[in-house]
Structure 1
Amino acid sequence: MHKSSFWQHPVFLSVISGVLLWACWPTSPLTFLVFVAWVPLLALEARSTRLLRFWGWTYLSLLLWNAATTWWVGNTTVPVSGVMANVLNALVMSVPWIGYWKTKRRFGQTAGYISLVAYWLAFEYIHLQWELSWPWLTLGNVFAGQPRWVQWYEWTGTSGGTVWVWVVNMLVFRALQTGVARLRSWRTVALALAVPLVVSTGIRFYRSGLKAVPLNGPDVVVVQPNIDPYNEKFESGTEIQQLQKLITLSDSLIDTTTSLVVWPETAIPFEVDESRFWHVPVLQPLRDFLQRHPRIRLVTGLAGERRLPADTSTPAMRIDPATGIHYEEYNTALQLDTGQGIEYYHKGKLVPGAEIVPYSWLFGFLEKFSLDMGGASGTLGRGTERTVFSRSPAGYRAGPIICYESIYSAYVTGYVRNGANILTIITNDGWWGDTQGYRQHQQYARLRAIETRRWVARSANTGISCFIDPLGQVYQAQPYDVASVIKMHVPPLEGKTLFVQIGDWLSFLALAWTVIALATGIFVRVKKRVWKKH
């Protein structure tokens, strides 16, 4: 390792890369720094002669990025949950770099660069699928605060942003290697930056009609009740007061044009047997509210449960010790109407630690800590379908996205493929207090609007509630820790973007390249061993 100057020292290169990644992340206005954030690590790899040492410096950089950007994950009564999330996430992020180091030395620089992009995309895809899923720092999310730059996400999803970031970083690194006097390299960098921006501008102009708000269209009302999730929401005896607060806020803006009302995640905070929902006496104010407004449909969150047959066994199954009844609990979204019709959706993407204990056969002892980490008590049941709420006289077919699910780019497209013409995000971001967490979460919703070209109505318990148009522009964003209610004419939209139709095609290509690269590496190694024996 060359140590001729401070600027080339591995400590500096490692730390500055982590700092740049933190400094560019939403909600920072310094997004452009992402285009050079990986350059120090690329320079560090070029000078490295030992894999273990290179991995150590890379891990330090990734740990700094994670800790500085998502430290708020530990802002619960069990701070170790945040520590573990950052430590483990940085660890799995380092795997693509190890693959890159080996591939480059075995097959050359070009193959190494292509493989680094492919390995990173493959890592992001796998990180969206397994039980330790934590895709908050998916690279393409970095542009959530700059939707004007990435209107082409309707073709690629966030994977396109990930590729853009890597390509520009590699071109900048190569330009620095060849010397600043060689203008051709820097022209290539400028082109790689400019072309996606120009394309995005063109798409935004072409799609500008999607954000048009009708003068006399159906209204959507979004409620932000601002109920403390630790000290109030799940306290016994407060159910009536909480319901009344939601109803009073809703009543203040509902009129004859209102067709849809959206309440946040677990707005109905106590556990309810979903098969007997309307038989619960404490829900009488809710029945009265719907009777007063027969034109509306109410999308709301619920801590739901369902009974299971006695011979059923599932990872989330519970047994009532008093009755012996088998049941599962869910983080539920439901749509209600005055005719007592109910449509249910059970959250499919569960938060590790808070709503599901990953690989419970190994970590089952952590179940008792889940509420303190910002979730329910123990592992929840999960839905398998992206259900769309369709019983609306105004023509709304709402995709009920619950909290954490709105981070999942390709997952959200499933609602649109199933017919959703508006997206509703119901969430409770109050678990992590007044930190960057809830701000980042709201920004990510802008990307989901672009990818699907749908309006988003976002109801957050403590904020930020808002409306988002199909170009990613935010309307009526409500401040944190304030009870409020907002209303807007929202047009239901049809049609499917390329990304909705064919999915995360860039990740599929990356997975194919990764499999081929790994198979080729194994084949070459085996061939060499056989050749040596003969």
Structure 2
Amino acid sequence: MQKKLSKKQGEGLSLLPYLIALSSGVLMGLTVAPVDAWFLAWIALAPLWVLVITSAKHKNQSPPASPALFWGIGYHGVALFWITGIHPMDWLGVPWWPSLAITLFCWSFISLYGGVFVAIWAAVMARAAKQKPWLRILIGTSIWCGLEALWSAGPLWWSSLAYTQSPHNLIILHLGQLSGTTTITATIVAINGLIAEAWINRQGAKNLSASSAPWRFVNPYLAIATTLLITLHLIGLALYSQPIAQPPAAALKIGVIQGNIPNKIKLTPEGLRRAITGYTNGYLTLVNQGVNAVLTPEGAMPFFQRDLAATPLISAVKEKGVVAWVGAFGERGRSYTNSLFTVIGSGEITSRYDKSKLVPLGEYIPFESILGGIISRLSPLDEHQVPGAANQIFDTPFGRAIVGICYESAFPEQFRRQAGAGGQFILSSSNDAHYSASMPFQHHAQDIMRAIETDRWTARATNTGYSAFVDPHGRTLWISRYNTYETHAETIYRRQTQTFYVRWGDWLTPLLLGLGALAWGCNIFWQNDGNTKLR
């Protein structure tokens, strides 16, 4: 009987690290919409840090990478739960059950994929468990930033730790002007690491001598964490407090149209009629309000470029002479692109931007040679969308613009490159119609980060919400309602400033990795040298 009880207790204890890791990962997932508990990001990684270090020091405990996998699944699974909103995909002609299977596959895959990166981080941290706490913090921060940089270089990317602070903590988001999202991610990881080390080394304060009584209950790691958190927020506040120049010569009044056309009917006769009527009437309404240009959402006019000239919207542009940025489809051989076109007063298309970051499974099939057969059995989808070039520029009658189409908002390098090439304002064109409301709000949060990093005004037009205008400090000047037809005009200002991030890119990640590797190598050398002398 006693043996059975001991066995059950052992099993319960063996499950505890996984439950703690999963729970703290879920807490990190609650930092973004729809819960928006952004403050949890400053403590939600600490439990995993403690688990990894303590389990690595005690060989009889579970491998550190295993609970870390659960942490990553908890974080990404909750933060990206909106992916399940693509079901049912009847608007694409996918039957109900195959739609459910595709949806669950997408959600499970991205959650597990995110978990793998956290597991890799934990495996490296386990090797550093016997190093000094300050070195563990440096290594943990640099490895996490390096893994995020690696992940964001691929096609699947969204949930950086940095975006847990958007749109609520605009002050800390201004650190993005220094080295992009890495600066914020590094801050969050370092603070969590200091809190974790405070817990791991909590016995240190108790063992102080009586002569140190006034400091007996002061944990140095917590003190450093508090100082660092306040200091970095003060730096962010200094950047946030910088005045934004608004010279009249740089003013540009832009109107946005939120068409509110569900994807289910978008390509039906009813959907086409609503698109033609809604965007044409919206254009005329905004022109009457004295705008300089009108921005439409991604795929607002579901026509190929060759057919746009015959639409009433282009006829209205010819009649009124006001520029329109029209979301439609371009052609490239036998394939097509998701594009934004500049249509000037004569009806001529003078510039075109092709979406270069496509949504996996939604706009193309990743690893098509492997997954193509599986997907084709589940769905009648026949996608032939191709990405645009990586080095595009988008010139307009008002100067060069920075363009992001939908999913591209998650990739800061897209915006940094265009800002560095002379982009003076941001045009974000999206269609988030097939997801729940939390996804477009997260999308808006991504655009806020891009506005701050590049120091640019942003006009954001979406199909069903949230359309918005954002200033260079990330403040939302106006935001639409959700699932409504709306038009709105706002004055933005063209800017030619270049933040440290725009000029130099993500310099912090290689610096942290270099310092971490150097410090770790030197520490190992000193340890080996000390052991040699003792012999």
TM-score range relative to shorter protein:
0.7 to 0.9
Q: 1:346 is matched with which residue: 351, 354, 364?
A: 354
Question: Which residue is equivalent to 2:503?
Answer: 501
Contact 1:7 1:13 in 2 (8 A): no
Matched ranges for 1:401-416 at <5 A: 401-416=404-419
Q: 1:203 is matched with which residue: 226, 239, 250?
A: 239
Question: Which residue is equivalent to 1:322?
Answer: none
Is 1:239 aligned with 2:272? Answer: yes
> Identity, % of aligned pairs?
20
Per-residue deviation at 1:513? 6.2
Residues 20 and 516 of structure 1: is their aligned pair in 2 closer, same or farther, counting only changes over 3 Å? same
Per-residue deviation at 1:334? 1.3
- Amino acid of the residue matched to residue 385 of structure 2? L
Contact 1:263 1:299 in 2 (8 A): yes
The DSSP-based 3-state class of the residue aligned with 2:261 is coil
Is 1:175 aligned with 2:198? Answer: yes
Is 1:284 aligned with 2:311? Answer: yes
Q: Measure the CA separation in 2 of the matches of 1:168 and 1:108.
A: 17
Matched ranges for 1:158-307 at <5 A: 158-179=181-202, 181-206=217-242, 208-210=243-245, 212=246, 217-229=251-263, 231-236=264-269, 238-255=271-288, 257-270=290-303, 272=304, 274=305, 276-277=306-307, 283-294=310-321, 296-307=322-333
Question: Which residue is equivalent to 2:445?
Answer: 443
Per-residue deviation at 1:362? 2.3
Per-residue deviation at 1:152? 2.4
Q: Measure the CA separation in 2 of the matches of 1:334 and 1:430.
A: 21
Per-residue deviation at 1:385? 3.6
Q: 1:462 is matched with which residue: 464, 468, 472?
A: 464
Question: Which residue is equivalent to 2:29?
Answer: 22
TM-score, normalising length: structure 2? 0.83
- Amino acid of the residue matched to residue 39 of structure 1? A
Q: Measure the CA separation in 1 of the matches of 2:350 and 2:408.
A: 22
TM-score, normalising length: structure 1? 0.83
Is 1:430 aligned with 2:456? Answer: no
Per-residue deviation at 1:113? 3.0
Q: Measure the CA separation in 1 of the matches of 2:519 and 2:325.
A: 47
Q: Measure the CA separation in 2 of the matches of 1:366 and 1:491.
A: 49
For residues 46-73 of structure 1, what are the alpha-carbon distances to aligned partners after superposition, in whole Å with 9 as ceiling and x for unaligned? 3213586322222122212222221121
Per-residue deviation at 1:483? 0.4
Q: Measure the CA separation in 2 of the matches of 1:366 and 1:245.
A: 39
Q: Measure the CA separation in 2 of the matches of 1:96 and 1:291.
A: 57
The DSSP-based 3-state class of the residue aligned with 1:21 is helix
Per-residue deviation at 1:503? 0.8
Aligned length: 484
Question: Which residue is equivalent to 1:68?
Answer: 78
Residues 100 and 203 of structure 1: is their aligned pair in 2 closer, same or farther, counting only changes over 3 Å? same
Matched ranges for 1:56-135 at <5 A: 56-76=66-86, 77=88, 78=99, 79-80=103-104, 81-105=106-130, 109-131=133-155, 133-134=156-157
Residues 194 and 222 of structure 1: is their aligned pair in 2 closer, same or farther, counting only changes over 3 Å? same
The DSSP-based 3-state class of the residue aligned with 1:458 is strand
Contact 2:335 2:384 in 1 (8 A): no
Matched ranges for 1:350-361 at <5 A: 350-361=358-369
Q: Measure the CA separation in 2 of the matches of 1:410 and 1:33.
A: 27
Residues 239 and 12 of structure 1: is their aligned pair in 2 closer, same or farther, counting only changes over 3 Å? closer
Q: Measure the CA separation in 2 of the matches of 1:178 and 1:108.
A: 11
- Amino acid of the residue matched to residue 464 of structure 2? T
Q: Measure the CA separation in 2 of the matches of 1:370 and 1:352.
A: 16
For structure 1, the residue ranges without an aligned partner over 5 or more in a row are 308-326, 528-534
Per-residue deviation at 1:357? 1.8
Could you tell which deviates more after superposition, 504-513 or 403-412?
504-513
Contact 2:251 2:493 in 1 (8 A): yes
- Amino acid of the residue matched to residue 144 of structure 2? W
Per-residue deviation at 1:277? 4.5
Per-residue deviation at 1:249? 1.7
Q: Measure the CA separation in 1 of the matches of 2:39 and 2:134.
A: 25
Contact 1:397 1:420 in 2 (8 A): yes
Per-residue deviation at 1:13? 2.4
Per-residue deviation at 1:238? 3.9
Matched ranges for 1:326-345 at <5 A: 327-339=334-346, 340-345=348-353
Residues 458 and 137 of structure 1: is their aligned pair in 2 closer, same or farther, counting only changes over 3 Å? same
For residues 329-358 of structure 1, what are the alpha-carbon distances to aligned partners after superposition, in whole Å with 9 as ceiling and x for unaligned? 211111111221331111111112212222
The DSSP-based 3-state class of the residue aligned with 2:484 is coil
Q: Measure the CA separation in 2 of the matches of 1:444 and 1:333.
A: 20
The DSSP-based 3-state class of the residue aligned with 1:476 is strand
Q: Measure the CA separation in 2 of the matches of 1:424 and 1:200.
A: 25
Is 1:137 aligned with 2:164? Answer: no
Residues 371 and 124 of structure 1: is their aligned pair in 2 closer, same or farther, counting only changes over 3 Å? farther
Q: 1:41 is matched with which residue: 42, 48, 56?
A: 48
Contact 2:139 2:513 in 1 (8 A): no
Q: Measure the CA separation in 2 of the matches of 1:514 and 1:357.
A: 38
Per-residue deviation at 1:9? 4.0
Residues 387 and 298 of structure 1: is their aligned pair in 2 closer, same or farther, counting only changes over 3 Å? farther
For residues 129-176 of structure 1, what are the alpha-carbon distances to aligned partners after superposition, in whole Å with 9 as ceiling and x for unaligned? 224x22x21111111121123222111211000100011111112223
Query: Bigger radius of gyration, 1 or 2?
Result: 2
The DSSP-based 3-state class of the residue aligned with 1:209 is coil
